[in-house]
Chains A and B, each alone.
Chain A
Amino acid sequence: MRLREREITDANRRLTRRALMLGAAQLALVGGLGLRMRWMQVEQGEQFRLLAEENRINIRLLPPARGLIFDRNGVPVAANEPSYRITLVREQAGDTDLVLRRLAALLPLSDSDLARIRKELAERRGDTPVTVADRVSWDDLSRVAVNAPALPGVTPEVGLSRSYPLGPGFAHIAGYVGPVSDYDLSKIEDPDQLLRLPRFQMGKVGLESKLEDQLRGKAGTQHVEVSASGRVMRELSRVEGQPGVDVQLTIDAMLQTYCEARLSGESAAAVVIDCDSGDLLAVASAPSFDPNMFVRGISVADYKALTDNPYRPLAAKAIQGNYPPGSTFKMVTAMAALEDGIIGPEETVYCPGHLEVSNRKFHCWKRAGHGHVNLETSLRESCDVYYYELALKVGIEKLAAMAERLGVGERFNLPLSGMAGGRAPTKEWKKATFDKEWVIGDTVNASIGQGLVLASPLQLAVMTARLATGRNVMPRLVRAIDGVDQPTGRGDPMGMNENNLRMIRRAMFAVTNHQRGTAYGSRIADDTLRMAGKTGTSQVRNITEDERRRGVIRNEDLPWNRRDHALFVNFAPFDAPRVAVAVVVEHGGGGSAVAAPVARDITLQALFGGDPPLEAYPSAQRDRIRDQQDRLRDVLPRTGPSERGRA
């Protein structure tokens, strides 16, 4: 029994000893854990804190609102409109097929859309939002929002996207924006981080492109806390960016859309310039296109339709087109001769219907000839021989110099893409470009705006404005940037003899107001608003001697693209010129028959700021004009100054 007692006591003692040893070991380990904690949290705390911050904070760029573009009266030309899109997060959706089926019942989703969405959902991480539908209408968005409880994982989102409320009317001026391409980035040195944002759009063409830096604005930054799955939890701080500045144009939206509508059906261009300030009131090219298509992302078929159209809707013909100015150039020839003093306004030239120069016959458009013509009658009836003679006497150098003084061949500094330079050809230029000697025939051709002479409709309008005012009128397209008025293009006097200018203007007056004038049919009947102009019909082909003998083929019998260009330039009112207009109708036929009526309608529209009274037209034409006005009114969009406008 005692042995047993001792055994028990020994065992107990050993157990106590061992229990204490175990406890000590446990406490030692606990101490080790405590030291590790201290090391991590105190010694290395700062480092881990940084890692935690890095984890949670994301810096995001806030795209600024793009600057708006207005017409001269505050009508929005390029605006930002909320664009709605609907996204789907797979993880939150649960049964994605069910959700998609429900969405398809609410939204116009095609099978190919659904296939794309399914593919994206399968490829992306489960927590990445996939765009189900972009640019959905407010109605569709509301339908989805109302049904939100049945659509887990579906989120309607709002962003800003560019829109061109006037559609085709301003496509060639405002241009359009589009997604930033790698090519765009490669052209820019040190590109703005904004451009790398997905879905960010930049100006591609026209003003949008040329004024990109002003319109874009400055990005803001936002520090956001993100969760492990990338979801934004809250905003920590925000530095607002600077919205792009607003741009006001000199263009009158109403006139612009009128021009566009009046030219529709033709491949044509029209430019209206304010004689006083050089403000471009309308710069229209037809046919046009809807720039909104490009913002949305144009389909291949639509794009092909635009590029395949022989009327070239994508071309801004009013500023990009180089046309032989034809007889509208005759004022340049006449002015060069008058200023040179080689001929007086009353001095006559005999026109037998042609002029023979170094064994080559240069024909007048009138085979029978005009007989004796002076400056006024020659311009009025557009006699060619008179100008051949003038040009031979004054020489190409002075002719080209005068053309440039009047704006032909001058590349104006306007924020537009692909501005045409026109051409006032000289001997050196021909030598340098074609490595060919100048021949006298070149001078003869140039005298009537054929051959090597080229001008854009814009240049022709400027030329007319300069002739009308005697000042060096410069075209201006941007009236104000960010509310700051830009310098006007009023210009200083060109230093030409006022008498000579007056003679030219009177001759131009006769073109539209003398019964024998080539554009008498397109006169303005209102005495206070009389216009002075000049027709032009420029050949795009050579008429051979053989053809001339058999009789020149009538324009109507030619294929469209070989017909003559129809041109007309004018200014009005004659006594105190307010606007100058240039119209070019590609392959339109005769300037007097095709271009002049268009120019007169546009001029009257500009002078009256809307539909002119019928009394402004000759009485015989009023019925036809009334029909035309009615027809165009239906086509014209309503573009009265809106409340949204900011001037």
Chain B
Amino acid sequence: MSYLEYSVKYTPTGLRKVLYLNWALVILLTAVASVGFLMLYSVAGGRFDPWAAAQMKRFGLSLSVMFVVAMVPIWFWRNLSALAYGVGVTLLVIVDLFGAVRMGAQRWIDLGFINLQPSELMKIALVMFLAAYYDWLPARKTSQPLWVAIPAVVILTPAALVMGQPDLGTAILVATAGGAMMFVAGVHWAYFAAVLTGGVALVSAVFRSRDTDWQLIEDYQFRRIDTFLNPESDPLGAGYHITQGKIAMGSGGWTGKGFMQGTQSRLNFLPEKHTDFIFNTLAEEFGFIGAFSLLTLYALIIVFCIVAAIQMKDRFSQLLTIGVAMNFFLFFSVNMAMVMGLAPVVGVPLPLVSYGGSAMLILMIGFGMVQSANIHRPR
């Protein structure tokens, strides 16, 4: 029994909805995406092909999808949550069984027109489902063990499936986002303290398991961790990414080398310069000022989402908005930490900036729901 149902009559209808869009958020998202176009244009050596033009088309499409999603009343999405979660889990199972193997991992389903990455879909589906769950659950039951165990299973099932692909990075991100939602929903502190302790124990167990019969994670994941801890140990092998990325970033200085003047990316020292390491190109060409500006844009998006969430009246809208924002935050902060040498290279793209379609589409669907919550909130 949600507060939402009683307030339907106060929500805007028809074209008036457009007035209630959170336009600041739209502008911020477009600004971030534009930074992406600029950088993709730059890393292609001053050409729209092969990346910038395609990315602009995708953003245009994603933006339209966001508007459509925003126009649909938020309770429709709430009612769809269980279905979305079910489909997400099913697709994850399918991809584990039949998915195409790429870059050493099974992550994709080829749908013909688009390569669907179920783990991306899962991110938004999980946020929806958890928001709906806590919307439905009476607040006083939130911290009761049974009612804590259910969302825990809901989170860990897709996380485990993603880990099985194997994609440890995304699995941790999915679990973290879910945990954050449980935290905001009001689950008691003690549970988080317990999980944290358990997590530390698990990490040490993982390291202990290395080179034993019961090794818990893959060799390549160990190597990534090694490289992260000491990139100079293998400057031309696995550590090459990080070392060159840091050189690109650091050599930008205060103001950078100038648009399209980044030697590290232009001369191909920088790997994955259009995807995971695009932030280094930005930092190299526009320096600290450019890099910090993008970081500020990202932070503003988070701030706007949290402010909007607090203003909302029903738990589903609030939790959904915070969940989407949390996912977005995890995306960009982990990517930045990774390319700055603060986190292992886990293959997380920079949201809206890195070249890539499916992640952007899912993200914009998420923001579409945030907009929908914003529009359809009772006033």
Contacts and interface: CB of A to CB of B under 8 A. Distances in A.
Interface of A: 7-8, 10-12, 14-16, 18-20, 22-23, 26-27, 29-30, 33-34, 36-38, 40-42, 44-49, 51-53, 55-56, 225-229, 233
A41 B184 contact: no
Interface stretch (B208-216, B288-296, B348-356): B288-296
Most interface-central of A12, A23, A46 (chain B CB within 10 A): A23
Given A29-B333, A30-B295, A228-B269, A41 B302 contact: no
B180 A52 contact: no
B291 A41 contact: yes
The SS class assigned to the B binding surface is helix
B248 to A, nearest CB: 7
Contacts of A227: 267-269
A51 B283 contact: no
B337 interface: yes
B253 A45 contact: yes
B340 A36 contact: yes
A34 B326 CA distance: 18
Contacts of B309: 19
Contacts of B319: 15
B303 A41 contact: no
Interface of B: 3, 138-140, 142, 180, 183-186, 244, 246-254, 263-264, 266-269, 283-284, 287-288, 291-292, 295, 298-299, 302-303, 306, 309-310, 315, 318-319, 322, 326, 329, 333, 336-337, 340, 342
Nearest to A16: B310
A22 B329 CA distance: 11
B138 to A, nearest CB: 7
B191 to A, nearest CB: 13
Given A20-B306, A23-B302, A37 B329 contact: no
Contacts of B336: 33
Contact of B253 (A11, A18, A49): A49
Contacts, number: 142
A344 B310 CA distance: 136
Given A41-B288, A225-B263, 19 more contacts: A11-B186, A12-B315, A22-B306, A30-B298, A33-B295, A33-B337, A33-B340, A37-B291, A37-B340, A40-B246, A41-B283, A42-B254, A45-B251, A45-B252, A46-B253, A51-B247, A52-B251, A55-B244, A233-B266
A37 B184 contact: no
B60 to A, nearest CB: 28
A482 B248 CA distance: 50
A55 B180 CA distance: 42
Nearest to A56: B263
A34 B294 CA distance: 10
Contacts of B183: 18, 22
Contacts of B3: 8
SS class of chain A's interface: helix, strand, loop or mixed?
Answer: helix
A47 B246 CA distance: 11
Contacts of A7: 138-140
B186 A55 contact: no
B264 A55 contact: yes
Contact of A23 (B185, B253, B268, B303): B303
Contacts of B306: 19-20, 22-23
Contacts of A225: 263, 267
A34 B292 contact: yes
Contact of A229 (B139, B180, B268): B268
B246 to A, nearest CB: 7
Contacts of B247: 48, 51-52, 55
B336 to A, nearest CB: 5
A493 B306 CA distance: 111
Q: Nearest 3 CB-CB pairs, A to B?
A: A48-B250, A11-B139, A52-B251
A395 to B, nearest CB: 80
Nearest to A49: B251
13 contacts: A11-B139, A15-B186, A18-B185, A22-B180, A23-B306, A33-B295, A37-B283, A41-B253, A42-B254, A45-B253, A53-B263, A227-B267, A229-B268
